[in-house]
Chains A and B, each alone.
Chain A
């Protein structure tokens, strides 16, 4: 007997993501899911943010192992920093995030969720964030957008980091931005450097503006 169904493969995940989203909304917390390769500068961006973003925020950082990155954020001056050790998992799941959200009792305006360094798996899961941002960096090479399309279909913003290295490497930034816009014509693109601070005031303004409308 054939039974017709209409079940999304993400039904269970989406249910938990939606609970996370409601929880965050009621606390007035605007959440950003940060996705990029290992070494693209996700944590450095958050360190820079800890020193320069004039808003209260928390950080949750996923890695396969260790709390090294969340410790870096604490050292940079933000004590609201928690690790998620996936123990082998290639992405943060909404259930992993939910466990951490249960400890949130501080008044924060923003929550940065740094996903496990990976351009593939994290892009498939809604965690309950307000938007996804993809982080690229100049030394990675300029073909990442073409190679890993699923992330760039879903990212509302793209940060091209380590822009201070642009003059030293062969990197066709115009092509990268064009590729990003093929995946998402409405994408917002930021060119940043934590060494020079370039691009951060635009990125911070964008975040503040987005939070006003959520």
Chain B
């Protein structure tokens, strides 16, 4: 259950990066790599709990899982969802994983002042 720690980190990064707009966030788009090792529902629960605690209600949380990217020893680049997927070209497991463990906030929607 380390998702709560990650949720706290996301919230404090948003507060830091969007000091003016943080309280006006209406939705948040997050991407998680196939091997990020987090439970999506737990992350959503953590984020909702912290937003609500900060009296920012009804924030829509969208989490998109993305495939990992690898470059095989044969030079072939390919995407994978499961760690035991081998290179589709040569069948090797020797590869460099270039992505797949990251979790990042891609965008947020901010309530416009004139709509308030």
Contacts and interface: CB of A to CB of B under 8 A. Distances in A.
Interface string A1-15: 111111111111100
Interface string A48-84: 0000000000000000000000000000000000000
Given A154-B101, A181-B93, A12 B107 contact: no
A7 B10 contact: yes
Interface stretch (A23-31, A118-126, A130-138, A155-163): A118-126
> Per DSSP, are chain B's interface residues mostly helix, strand or loop, or mixed?
mixed
Interface residues of A, number: 31
A183 B94 CA distance: 9
B104 A93 contact: no
Contacts of A4: 106-107
Contacts of B18: 3
Contact of A10 (B1, B9, B14): B9
Nearest to B68: A153
Contact of A12 (B12, B35, B36): B12
Contacts of B17: 5, 7
User: Taking each of A12, A125, A149, which has the highest tally of chain B beta carbons within 10 Å of its own beta carbon?
Assistant: A12
A197 interface: no
A182 B32 CA distance: 21
A5 B106 contact: yes
Contacts of A89: 5
B104 A8 contact: yes
A43 interface: no
B93 A9 contact: no
A12 B110 contact: no
A169 to B, nearest CB: 24
A120 B2 contact: yes
Nearest to A151: B37
A5 B107 contact: yes
A121 B6 CA distance: 10
Given A1-B109, A182-B83, A123 B9 contact: no
B76 to A, nearest CB: 15
A150 B94 contact: no
Contacts of B83: 149, 153, 182-183
Nearest to B86: A182
Interface of A: 1-13, 89-91, 93, 120-121, 123-125, 146, 149-150, 153-154, 181-183, 185
Given A5-B105, A9-B104, A154-B101, 19 more contacts: A1-B109, A3-B18, A3-B107, A3-B108, A3-B109, A5-B17, A5-B106, A7-B17, A7-B104, A8-B102, A9-B10, A9-B30, A10-B9, A13-B9, A93-B5, A120-B37, A149-B83, A182-B93, A183-B83
